[in-house]
Structure 1
């Protein structure tokens, strides 16, 4: 199925319209990959493979935008089943990447059909189940919010899709919208030691070289910082989402065990380190408690420590030049 068959009634800029635009791109890439011989057309094969790998943006939009809105409407299936499908395809991409780096053309030729067929099966479920049901379940307000949140993740398209709904100019004299004020009327707030404006607090959190996510005592995500180079992608759709749906199914059990131990007061900290996209990532969880030791949630902190781990000796001089 192509964009013209599936998407004619959906306005351009709508998230589902964008998904179908990407579907057309993916179909073309899969067709090209299937007829390209990695042994005799290695560079062409690698270029197509790298372009197809941008499907990761599509996965992230679904996991961090579409799935959370479906959960709010009572449909949790995609968060559990389809996310696992994404992870299986990620594993296939990762293995093929290793074979490409090793120039193991025989293995590449054997594994390529498995990757292609897996993506075709996923798109079939998207087109026949996921997207039709999502259009039935979600409101237009949901789609508008979702489209705004997608900006942070990106698309497979050569340029960003149109805004949704289409922006129309309203003369200031005709604008009577009652808008919520997003800024504080107070100049500063007193913290433990010192004073900062809300803007300064935001800038501090954005500048810190850490991914920070705050989950409250009800296991709902209430905050994450928007650093310039986050280790793990996030978008506005996770705010208010249950934390168990914010992790791949294979790691949910560990996360729930951490929350249980923290809530019972049996533990206060947990740490992990993993290899992710050829970088060493340090992940820590901290129990948050108030002055009376009441449990108030969890802070998750992730940091790329690859370069830090390699530090040796001392550096006392500025060497910008």
Structure 2
């Protein structure tokens, strides 16, 4: 590790430990003035290695960004061309800014109860930004994690995403209930605006410049294609390009027959059969890497090809990783063979089941995750024995 990075880590740790800010700045001034976007990931990664949690690192991130702002804002990087993955992410951010600016006009009047209906409408429109965040978490982040260890720090950004999601949901619930005390609601809206603008700044000052320096054109094309698994927030969806599967999955075998003990199937039959089932299926191999996921017509959780080969821990928000680790540990040790969870989401009742996959000898081969919308199943009564019966 070079002295510059070491000094920047010491500065970040000093801020975290609430040491004198001016003294720290004066001590590390020359390195602060030369900080780069990729340096930020190194700093955060080292802090995580030191034992800090994502939440602990997150607590001082905004202070660090403020100190580093001048260097990051003046950093020269190759801006994305129109029609590319990063370009549309930045266009979505422009759309969010415009949406927030129009919202300011409404809330400046501070007639919250009188404008309650339109305020609720505008707040719910902000939920569309989740599609943008999912493209980061499920497409860009996996690619970056595979590229360099330093990008482990991305889990901090994911943690920030979850904080903003939670805050937006809470503000919407307050408006729905009419709990809009002027003083407290001003604080709620101010924090929401600050955090959303903060997401944009962190992406465009740090995340996007760093990404442009580590990926080639083919990788960005693959990411762009996978972005169409999600909606486009605040902009019209661009035309989907035609990109060969080989640009994402080199060496994929799509021909031939697979002979099994109970029958034989072609690759196409296996793939379409799995996708025809009304469940989301994900397989995590014995090394805790995502090896496969299905694409049913009615998907519950959106997935992108970028997660193939990704450590399953990085597919979940930092705050829920301990649950994933406990499930896997119990399966590997033979303590459990299955786990089930159920939750309500967007008007659906979701059953999520995990199954330990073992061979005839009992050796652990991986974990199968099966998610299903079971509202209709839960409502079944009586019997149906004939075609056409209801």
1:23 maps to: 93
CA distance in 1 between counterparts of 2:278 and 2:128 reads 25
Correspondent of 2:231 among 154, 162, 181: 154
CA distance in 1 between counterparts of 2:243 and 2:371 reads 37
Q: Answer yes or no: is the 8 Å Cα contact 2:228–2:240 preserved in 1.
A: no
C-alpha distance after superposition, 1:40-77 (max 9, x if no partner): 33343233223221000011000000101110112334
Deviation at 1:165, TM superposition (A): 9.8
CA distance in 2 between counterparts of 1:246 and 1:130 reads 18
CA distance in 2 between counterparts of 1:223 and 1:180 reads 15
Question: Whose helix proportion is higher, 1 or 2?
Answer: 2
Deviation at 1:94, TM superposition (A): 1.8
Q: 1:189 to 1:296 in 2, by over 3 A?
A: same
Matches within 5 A, 1:180-195: 184-186=254-256, 188-195=257-264
Correspondent of 1:212 among 267, 278, 281: 281
Correspondent of 1:255 among 324, 343, 350: 324
Correspondent of 2:373 among 304, 308, 313: 304
Correspondent of 2:220 among 120, 131, 143: 143
Q: Answer yes or no: is the 8 Å Cα contact 2:116–2:175 preserved in 1.
A: no
Correspondent of 1:237 among 301, 306, 314: 306
Q: 1:218 to 1:105 in 2, by over 3 A?
A: same
How large is the RMSD of aligned CA atoms in angstroms?
A: 2.8
Give aligned pairs, total. Answer: 304
2:118 maps to: 44
Q: Answer yes or no: is the 8 Å Cα contact 1:184–1:198 preserved in 2.
A: yes
Deviation at 1:252, TM superposition (A): 0.6
Q: Answer yes or no: is the 8 Å Cα contact 1:14–1:164 preserved in 2.
A: no
- Of residues 77-86 and 243-252 in structure 1, the stretch that sits farther from structure 2 once superposed is 77-86
Instruction: With the length of structure 2 as denominator, give the TM-score of the two structures.
Output: 0.71
3-state secondary structure, aligned to 2:283? strand
Deviation at 1:289, TM superposition (A): 1.1
2:168 maps to: 93
Deviation at 1:131, TM superposition (A): 1.2
Q: Answer yes or no: is the 8 Å Cα contact 1:289–1:297 preserved in 2.
A: yes
2:19 maps to: none
CA distance in 2 between counterparts of 1:166 and 1:157 reads 25
CA distance in 1 between counterparts of 2:381 and 2:359 reads 39
- Which ranges of structure 1 fall in alignment gaps of 5 or more residues? 1-5, 168-178
3-state secondary structure, aligned to 2:298? coil
1:56 maps to: 130
Is 1:133 the counterpart of 2:133? The answer is no
Q: 1:166 to 1:189 in 2, by over 3 A?
A: closer
- Which ranges of structure 2 fall in alignment gaps of 5 or more residues? 1-75
CA distance in 2 between counterparts of 1:10 and 1:91 reads 31
- Of residues 198-207 and 52-61 in structure 1, the stretch that sits farther from structure 2 once superposed is 198-207
CA distance in 2 between counterparts of 1:253 and 1:264 reads 16
Deviation at 1:180, TM superposition (A): 6.7
1:111 maps to: 188
Deviation at 1:215, TM superposition (A): 0.7
Q: 1:278 to 1:166 in 2, by over 3 A?
A: closer
Correspondent of 2:353 among 275, 278, 284: 284
2:7 maps to: none
Instruction: With the length of structure 1 as denominator, give the TM-score of the two structures.
Output: 0.85
Find the structure with the greater CA-based Rg.
2
